[in-house]
Amino acid sequence: MTFKPAPWPRKLRSQHWYGGTSRDAIYHRGWLKNQGHPDDLFDGRPVIGILNTWSELTPCNGHLDELARKVKAGIWEAGGFPLEVPVFSASENTFRPTAMMFRNLAAMSVEEAMRGQPIDGAVLMVGCDKTTPSLMMAAASTDIPSIVVSGGPMLNGWWRGKAVGAGTHLWQFSEAVKAGEMTQDDFLEAEAAVTRSAGSCNTMGTASTMASMAEALGMALSGNAAIPAVDARRRVMAQLTGRRIVQMVKDDLKPSDVLTRQAFENAIRTNAAIGGSTNAVIHLLAIAGRVGIDLTLDDWDRCGRDIPMIVNLQPSGHYLMEEFFYAGGLPVVLKRLGEAGLLHKDALTVSGGAIWDDVKDVRNWNEEVIRPADKALTRSGGIVVLKGNLAPRGAVLKPSAASPHLMKHRGRAVVFEDIDDYKARIEDEALDIDETCVMVLKNCGPKGYPGMSEVGNMGLPPKVLRKGITDMVRISDARMSGTAYGTVVLHTSPEAAAGGPLAVVRTGDVIEIDVEARRLHLDISDTELAERLAAWTPTHEMAGSGYAWLHQQHVEGADTGADLDFLRGKRGRAVGRDSH
């Protein structure tokens, strides 16, 4: 793609607030000058909003206040006027019932912060997994020049001489305690070792996946995704990003120029190659919906189906994000895809050039971490989309995190009506379940929980774990953490709370899963399924007011990104809406 920069100089958006000698201009300038800004900062230079998701209650982003100072330095150096703006920050490890409930609220609030304030460009400072998509969704809707700078992953965890990964080892240790293989005291000791530095998860969880998606989409500078949070090079990246956004404003390089269908196809293939999180499916569908790209689940299956997974990182592999960075990071993966003819090389990035130009000369410094295609961890690392009478609009599964012997399976359903039902019964020794069964969890989708929490990777019953079994087929309309693993079918659409077929599955029903055939089937007749659906009534809790009510009334299905229906689409840049 050839990008033609806009003429410079020209009147910028911020000048509708700050330009001229009218009463309104004096009003806007005068108030901002109470912070000590000299006159010449209002002379038409680009005003850059640093949209910062720093929060002490968002641990992944707890260091972004320091990183923002480097972004400011870069903006000053390039002749811009930086103004830091704190924005909604949703953390998966603190928000209840789930940060996903508030991704759309964050996107809406950030969009209005961008739309209603005098900024010409935005630096999107992100880290925890929902902050990345929410700010990118907002930028796509406003179409103001924007660039992502991620906070970066934390350092490797170390416990008793072994590298341990945030999230992934939490699930492993928790199951080991239930199986009697690990003591509770050991678990508590490991707690301090797993998350030992600033930054997001050091596995290829959703935070690292979405940082990789931002880079693969072209919305971040090359190399942004993998630099550890506490590495000095992360601060260099922040400063360079600050410099770059000023030129992007001068060129009028917008999200809609970068977020093309080619860019999304590059990201889908990248997600397959890195063994990325299933959550990327929902987030990319939502971002595409904001910018007006008709991306579907079928595109995920089509583009990612035959991509070898070459990044050897937990939870699907062995290493952690530190090693990924030292090996060369995402640019090496993009180069491999390009060499295999699997990358749209001319896709535009925020650098102003083609993505291939950013990566064609990089080197791989560790072929055990980033493997050649002929030594890939799995032949097909892409997210699989399953369909059938149990999921007419689709469900997803991550083959690289699943057990090969369960990829084709037929078993008796053991049904949990909601997460509370699961928690109440899963440790009951009288529960009629064994490793051949299919665990089914209902009412945990976008409307159901509400918010679509990360509970799809249901822990196995202790009596099964004690037999040495570590995986079973699990099906739900929920999500799972990108750090999790197992043969877990997620995002089943339509969800149970919307009256999808999942709502009428009963304990004792037989369910068939065939990943190769892309099939998910409830083994009852069409007539019986129709009768059950006709008799179904909702059982999930309905909110009576507040944001939860708004969310339940307007959230769309997981198959289209679980955005709020009235937020889809690019609404463009508002200028000159003066209220004085």
Residue 372: partners with Cβ closer than 8 Å, 6 or more residues away:
310, 336
Q: Outline which parts of the chain fall under CATH 3.40.50.2300.
A: 45-155+197-375
Q: Look-up: residue for tokens 């009463």?
A: 23
Cβ neighbours, 10 Å, residue 347: 23
Q: What is the pLDDT of residue 166?
A: 87
Q: At residue 319, what are phi and psi to the nearest 5 degrees?
A: -90, -175
- Chain centroid to CA 139: 15
Concatenated DSSP letters of 410-464: EEEEEEESSHHHHHHHTT-TT----TTSEEEE-S-STTTTTS--S--SPPPPHHH
Concatenated DSSP letters of 27-49: HHHHHHGGG---GGGGSSPPEEE
| Residue 526 DSSP SS3 | helix
Q: What is the pLDDT of residue 99?
A: 92
Q: Specify whether the CB–CB gap between 246 and 81 falls below 8 A.
A: no
**Run of H or E including 285:** helix 279-291
In the structure, how many helices (H) and strands (E) does the chain have? 20, 14
Q: Outline which parts of the chain fall under CATH 3.50.30.80.
A: 384-541
Q: Specify whether the CB–CB gap between 154 and 201 falls below 8 A.
A: yes
Rg (CA), the chain: 24
Token digits of residue 103: 């991704």
Task: Please tell me the distance from the alpha carbon of residue 481 to that of residue 160, in angstroms, as a whole number.
Answer: 25
pLDDT, tens digit (0-9, with 9 covering 90-100), for 120-129: 999 999 999 8
Residue 378 β-bridge partners: 309
CATH of domain 45-155+197-375: 3.40.50.2300
Residue 419: partners with Cβ closer than 8 Å, 6 or more residues away:
441, 443, 444, 449, 453, 455
The per-residue pLDDT string of the chain (580 residues; one tens digit each, 9 = 90 and over) reads 679 999 999 999 999 999 999 999 999 999 999 999 999 999 999 999 999 999 999 999 999 999 999 999 999 999 999 999 999 999 888 888 899 999 999 999 999 999 999 999 999 999 998 999 999 999 999 999 999 999 999 999 999 988 898 888 888 888 889 889 999 999 998 888 888 899 999 999 999 999 999 999 999 999 999 999 999 999 999 999 999 999 999 999 999 999 999 999 999 999 999 999 999 999 999 999 999 999 999 999 999 988 999 999 999 999 999 999 999 999 999 999 999 999 999 999 999 999 999 999 999 999 999 999 999 999 887 899 999 999 999 999 999 899 999 999 999 999 999 999 999 999 999 999 999 999 999 999 999 989 999 999 999 999 999 999 999 999 999 999 988 889 999 999 999 999 999 999 999 999 999 999 999 999 999 999 999 999 999 999 899 999 999 999 999 999 999 999 999 998 887 675 554 4
Q: Look-up: residue for tokens 């057990």?
A: 403
Task: Please tell me the distance from the alpha carbon of residue 179 to that of residue 578, in angstroms, as a whole number.
Answer: 64
Identify the CA nearest to 279 among candidates 479, 436, 425, 440: 479
Q: Specify whether the CB–CB gap between 395 and 475 falls below 8 A.
A: yes
Task: Please tell me the distance from the alpha carbon of residue 538 to that of residue 430, in angstroms, as a whole number.
Answer: 28
Q: What is the pLDDT of residue 171?
A: 81
Q: Specify whether the CB–CB gap between 144 and 217 falls below 8 A.
A: no
* Class at the top of the CATH hierarchy for domain 384-541: alpha beta
Would you put residue 155 in left (φ > 0), alpha (ψ -120 to 50) or beta? Answer: beta
pLDDT, tens digit (0-9, with 9 covering 90-100), for 343-393: 999 999 999 999 999 999 999 999 999 999 999 999 887 899 999 999 999
